[in-house]
Structure 1
Amino acid sequence: MKAAIYSRKSKFTGKGESIQNQIELCKEYANNYFNISEFIIYEDEGFSGGNTDRPEYQRMIADAKKKKFDVLICYRLDRISRNVLDFSKTIEMLQANNISFVSIREQFDTSTPMGRAMMYISSVFAQLERETIAERIKDNMQRLALTGRWLGGKKPFGFKSKQIEVINYEGEKRKLYELIPIPEEIEIVKLIYKKYIELCSFTKVESYLIQNNIKRNGKFFNQSTVSYILRNPVYCVADQLSYEYFSRQGSATPDKNEFDGKSGLIAYSKRCETTWTIRNKKDWIIGVGRHKGIISSKDWIQVQNIAEENQTKAIKNGTSRISLITPLLKCKCGETMKASSIQKNNDGSIKYYYYVCRRKERTNGSLCNIKNCNGHKADKEVVESLKKFAFNTENLQKLFFGEINSLNSRKENSEDKKKSLLNEIEKKKTMISKLVDSITGSDNSAATKYILEKINKIDNEIKELQKELQTLDNKIETDMLKKLNYEITLELFKKVADLDKLNFEEKQQLIHKLVDKIVWDGENLHLYIKNINSTNCIS
């Protein structure tokens, strides 16, 4: 009878159950209980049991399929695998090849029905342990987030760290770090946020800082540093709006009441440990820090929105000194239009130019033959239309304040409904608790059966109510962000009154902030304002 011994250890250490110890114990067991003529040894050291991508394990599986041994012995069940599915497949493969399996630590033997049943149960607990460890790591990160502590490493610009001692819930002293603001650097951070909201470009903010001789540690800011500062939630005030924002992103957050409107935020698990790239916000763990927030959540969120919009909709011709409205201007065929046929005066000023459909230009009019749009006339009409729109207070009141009031009213109704749902869930949980108490110690199996059915029914009702509650929470968060967008657009329209006083680049930036797109149909321009479900025909 041939016996295979499989041994595995995750790390190369001399502690615990070493590879050699596992093999010796398996040999001793085999000699005591089986008539073994030959041992085949498979050793994987430095490999996790979380998957089956292990060289010796794969060799052992291949040999089993060739029926090179009669029994597989391991020291402990999780040496084979910590994954239920992988373990089950291994057992099925061994049984298909008439190979017995023995785990000496658990005293399981697949030659008996009880042994097979117990091994499946034990494998479930092996995976449960692994998932518990992973969950424990995440829980630790979330507990750290609740403390608001700074974990060390490179400090964000504008802060230094200070070691403090605290008493934890077990009465033990612990050393933590908290962020202390550096006033002169904090002022620079505020300036960077202000200029980005104004200029909407990392590169332009970088240029502004260089032109004004603003430095950090004696060196000029680069685009990467500006981007890092603008994307870091450490500067954001922890209030209800920032809570709603990160909840909507899917980030793990503390209780809503922790967002006190004063403190700043700290993001844990923000970067991937292997590539050091910034993770998706849904993988972040957000904590309320011990430091004071310096950028309002409204401004911080506006910066994130601008940055994300720039990623997906780069303003390719936005810095042109000729046209105000590229690439906002689109042909009715869907293609963008560009400034072309440019003629200059002797002094270098622009005499005239036209907006031309890119599809028309590329295909010599075969796929689109729309009439070109007079550039000077189009730019002027867009500016005049925005001014007319801004000065029409009755229209603004109707479009924006009406929506804002509607959202406020809807929020109140949603909050009332939320309270009602929470009360209903608590009532049903109380019902389940009473039903559970009623069957405790009961010998009436018939009554117990019906009570259990009733419990399952109520539990399903609770799950449906919880789904409804989640949908309602999502709706409240969406409405809150909609309201913020309306308020930001209203603030921008106040600047339109001074549009003629702005230089070319400032006009261009303001137009891009207010306008979603402009469509040329060959005769008229159609202006689409951001956050408004309507269009104005302006020419």
Structure 2
Amino acid sequence: MSIIAIYSRKSKYTDKGESIKNQIELCKEYAEKHFNVDKFLIYEDEGYSGGHADRPKFQKMLKDISKKKFDILICYRLDRISRNITNFSNLIELLQKNNIDFVSIREQFDTSTPMGRAMMYITSVFAQLERETIAERIRDNMHQLARTGRWLGGKTPTGFKSQPIYVDDKKIGKKKMYKLSPISKELELVKTLYYKFLELGSLTQLESWTLENNIKTRNGKYFDKSILKVILTNPVYVIADELIYEYFQENNSDIASNKEEFDGIHGLMVFNKHNEKRNRVIKNDKSKWIVAVGKHKGTIPSQDWIRVQNLLEKNREKAPKAGKGKIGLITNLLRCKNCGSKMRITVSRRKNSTYYYYKCLLKERSKGSKCNIKNLNGSLADEYVINEIKKISYKESDIYKYLYEMKEKLNKKSNNQDSEKELLEKELLEYKKAINNLTLQLSRNQDSKAAKYIIKQIEEFDNKIVDIKTKLENLDENKEITELEKNNIDIILKLIKDFSNNVDKLDFEEKKKFLNQIIDKIWWDGRKLEINIVGYNQGQ
């Protein structure tokens, strides 16, 4: 038995063309003839163009695809789904990812058949070709922009602000552009950071130095290693000369400016430094960078900038790989209550014995100048947390009682939602019956003066039906959230019970995994530990 989704769309509220109702009926007929139907899910968008995807029911359908709420999607014609090939291809990819078949009746496009799957493959090939063509156009555009040496907007690097400039354009006369304008005080700090890094030899030492000397970012925050690395690797500061030209040439970068433009005065602008994939920003290899001479002056001599890059690379290669030690059970969960920083393991060895304790990261980075909270004995802390979690499994514990009460409240809420849904569905049925009766009256009194009043009444009832359907949809979504919350509580209670019963049989990694599922955070205030259980925000 298959759950069938039907999508229908009409761009205008008119009687011309295939009506929403006709589209749905034709899709239902096709489904009942070709598939073993369990039930239908209907998505209707009236008054929306197929040129864009910003349609309320279409967007709801996309969410339901991700939740795998149906098995087959049917539409009357392909252009009912989309008139945009990219949007259509994205939909096909989403359906494919969730193992949902797609049927378009008019075009006989049916991915449940071999021919339909072949059609889908051809569509995906064209979509890929379009993506590659767009990427090529973007790169060509980047080249054109890079040659101008202007600033394209966004957050300006430390040491610069954005300044408007006006240039002559043959077509439009004066054209407004932007360039980077220096902030002298900030650029002096940038110079200091570069040469201090070369003196100290590591980002960790440079970070500690900035904290000890109370040196902050332009936003008044403390520097950390990631911010410092962004500054130290940014080509915007390097003086564009022959040496840096050869450096980027050796790294196979795409150099948009002529060699003669590397004049020993200006700085560089780099495009395509980063790539965004699945909401993560990834730094591209230098071979993908587009390098051009900017309109601003350079700050750091090329030989010094290159020395910094080489030292960073050397330190990266020497950095120890993160290992999987058998100590530090609560490392991922532990926080310093004094400053909010994470706490890391520090190991010491005395008289043939190994001891470990947790130390605040800010305390370590600032050498005690910004936070001086007492270190925490590691083995005692780990043992304490395990024992506290064991206690929770008893029904007399406060957390167990709290979670159980929460579940009872959610059960009551769920029952209320069911009752409300029942009333709304009853009301919906009554309005539908009323419209049917009025439609019958209208057919008998078309030439009567009463016809316009009947039509007005039908429209009012139809608006009521739309409102009720919206309420039902919202109610279904809220019901889904309620059920999810109930399930979460059941999972937490089961995890706690399983952990308590089996903790002595678990190995280190299994204990760590269990604790990460049960505990939100653990706070250390220098005297005692506070454990925050997931779904229960009071300290234990």
Scaled to the shorter chain, the TM-score interval is 0.3 to 0.5
TM-score with structure 2 length normalisation? 0.42
TM-score with structure 1 length normalisation? 0.42
